[in-house]
């Protein structure tokens, strides 16, 4: 696992090495090799430290990996009166290390956690070949400005590149809402009602979509997003989040 996560580090650098006498495939190979070389050299100069215990050598050490609680089955959300998505998968239980990492990433801009999250999401217990595209759950633009980045967009963009799936950022949050974390289950459902819109119906018609968010709690937000996508013509919507509370 340690080696795996080391090898799968997401290189934040985008380098293009073009050569006039090379075919696109050769240029791609040169680009890829050069990126690997830069990544290897960077790893030598700045070796990873475990995000769980700070020891040197890997982004996540074997011991901390063993502390993670991986979830195998989709969420059961009986309180949703009508569920618009088919299945909702989460990679981890929202506890301990996972809780701390997601909080640090979202609210304290600890972006070095993104490669770990992308690696974990890509190993989710679902069949990737079933999905045509990935759709990130949007933030209202004012919240994005305040945070300085969109945590879910960042993850889904890299995840899409890693898995070769197109990202369709066609959902928009059209109204600001109170933070869901401060509300009861019933209030959460009301809070997000009518807050999302999609104006690209023709681009999602008949597609099987994977809706991605960071944490699944009541499912109110993803259900509202799935409702908009299904009404816009999607064939099927499943949900994937990094974590959900047990
Ligand atoms: Zn560790």
H/E run at residue 242: strand 236-244
Q: Please state the domain count of the chain.
A: 2
Residue 19's domain spans which residues? 1-67
Tell me: do 61 and 76 sit in the same domain.
no
Tell me: do 113 and 173 sit in the same domain.
yes
Tell me: do 9 and 73 sit in the same domain.
no
Binned at pLDDT 50, 70 and 90, residue 38 comes out as: low
CA of 87 to the centre of ligand 1 (A): 32
CA of 94 to the centre of ligand 1 (A): 18
Tens of pLDDT along 79-137?
Answer: 888 999 999 999 999 998 999 999 999 888 888 899 999 999 998 888 999 999 999 99
> Which of 29, 50, 67 is the C-terminal boundary of a domain?
67
What residues pair up with 213 in beta bridges, in sequence order?
241
CATH number at 84 reads 3.40.50
CA of 118 to the centre of ligand 1 (A): 18
Tell me: do 53 and 128 sit in the same domain.
no
Tell me: do 7 and 128 sit in the same domain.
no
CA of 222 to the centre of ligand 1 (A): 32
CA of 59 to the centre of ligand 1 (A): 8
Tens of pLDDT along 48-71?
Answer: 788 889 888 888 899 999 999 999
Tell me: do 104 and 135 sit in the same domain.
yes
CA of 53 to the centre of ligand 1 (A): 4
Q: Which residues of 160-182 are buried (b: 16+ CB within 10 A; e: fewer)?
A: beeeebebbebbbbeeebeebee
* N residues, the chain: 246
CA of 39 to the centre of ligand 1 (A): 22
Which backbone phi and psi does 45 adopt, to 5 degrees?
-75, -40
> Which of 14, 45, 67 is the C-terminal boundary of a domain?
67
Binned at pLDDT 50, 70 and 90, residue 179 comes out as: confident
Tell me: do 17 and 56 sit in the same domain.
yes
CA of 49 to the centre of ligand 1 (A): 8
CA of 115 to the centre of ligand 1 (A): 15
Entry pTM: 0.78
């Amino acid at each position: 696992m340690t080696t795996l996560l080391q090898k799968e580090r997401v290189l934040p650098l985008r380098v293009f090495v073009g050569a006039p006498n090379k075919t696109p495939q050769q240029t791609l190979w040169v680009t890829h090799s050069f990126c690997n070389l830069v990544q290897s050299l960077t790893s030598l100069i700045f070796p990873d430290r475990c995000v769980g215990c700070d020891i040197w050598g890997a982004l996540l050490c074997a011991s901390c990996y063993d502390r993670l609680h991986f979830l195998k089955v989709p969420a059961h959300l009986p309180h949703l009166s009508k569920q618009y998505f088919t299945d909702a998968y989460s990679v981890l239980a929202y506890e301990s290390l996972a809780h701390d990492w997601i909080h640090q990433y979202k609210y304290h801009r600890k972006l070095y956690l993104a490669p770990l999250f992308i690696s974990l999401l890509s190993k989710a217990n679902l069949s990737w070949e079933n999905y045509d595209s990935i759709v990130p759950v949007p933030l209202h633009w004012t919240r994005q400005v305040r945070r300085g980045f969109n945590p879910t967009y960042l993850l889904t963009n890299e995840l899409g590149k890693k898995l070769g799936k197109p990202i369709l950022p066609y959902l928009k949050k059209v109204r600001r809402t109170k933070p869901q974390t401060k509300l009861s289950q019933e209030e959460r459902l009301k809070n997000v009602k009518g807050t999302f819109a999609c104006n690209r119906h023709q681009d999602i018609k008949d597609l099987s979509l994977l809706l991605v968010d960071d944490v699944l709690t009541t499912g109110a937000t993803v259900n509202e997003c799935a409702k908009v996508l299904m009404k816009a013509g999607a064939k099927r919507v499943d949900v994937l989040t990094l974590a959900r509370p047990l």
